[in-house]
Amino acid sequence: MSGNDKTYTISELAREFDVTTRTIRHYEEQGLIAPERRGQHRIYSRRDRIRLLLTLRGKRIGLTLNEVRELFELYDAARDDAPQLLEFMRILDLREQRLMQQIEDINVVMREVQGLKAQCERLLEKKSADADSPQP
């Protein structure tokens, strides 16, 4: 009844997320995932897989591995500890503000990039025009 115990090998996860097994072991050393062990070999659960997914996503938005780990710890603690929920909420609020700021910054740079592209296109048009009708 509980086919909820799917597991993965380190190479399966490495392939799925396009990272090396070294990277996954590194995240474990940093305390981001704690796969079960069968002797020396690591057995990754669905939860471990999600944590890897979240870790990689966090990295993409500029979080350090330490920050990702802190979020995991806070989440785990807040899950069942009421007082921790308040602290967790505060952290999330700060994170939210930072993300909003990142979105703003990205939009600013995006417009600059688009503006430069437009300028380049105009220059290219002028060049081809000059080529058609050289020195006046």
Partner DNA sequence: ATTCTCACA
Partner DNA sequence: TGTGAGGA
For residue 25, state whether it binds DNA (rule: CB under 7 A). Answer: yes
- Candidates 20-28, 86-94, 107-115, 122-130: pick the segment binding DNA (CB under 7 A): 20-28
Instruction: Say how far apart CA 57 and CA 52 lie, in whole Å.
Output: 8
Considering the complex, state which of residue 38 and residue 80 has its C-beta at the smaller distance from DNA.
Answer: 38
Query: In the structure encoding, which two tokens stand for residue 54, read together?
Result: 């979240």
For residue 26, state whether it binds DNA (rule: CB under 7 A). Answer: yes
Closest contact distance (angstroms) between CB of 105 and DNA is: 22
For residue 79, state whether it binds DNA (rule: CB under 7 A). Answer: no
Instruction: Say how far apart CA 35 and CA 136 lie, in whole Å.
Output: 74
- Percent helix, percent strand, percent coil in the chain, to nearest 5: 75, 5, 20
Considering the complex, state which of residue 69 and residue 78 has its C-beta at the smaller distance from DNA.
Answer: 69
Q: Indicate the burial class of 45 (C-beta count within 10 angstroms; 0-12, 13-18, 19 or more).
A: middle
Considering the complex, state which of residue 22 and residue 79 has its C-beta at the smaller distance from DNA.
Answer: 22
Q: Contact positions toward DNA, by CB under 7 A?
A: 9-12, 19-23, 25-26, 40-42, 59
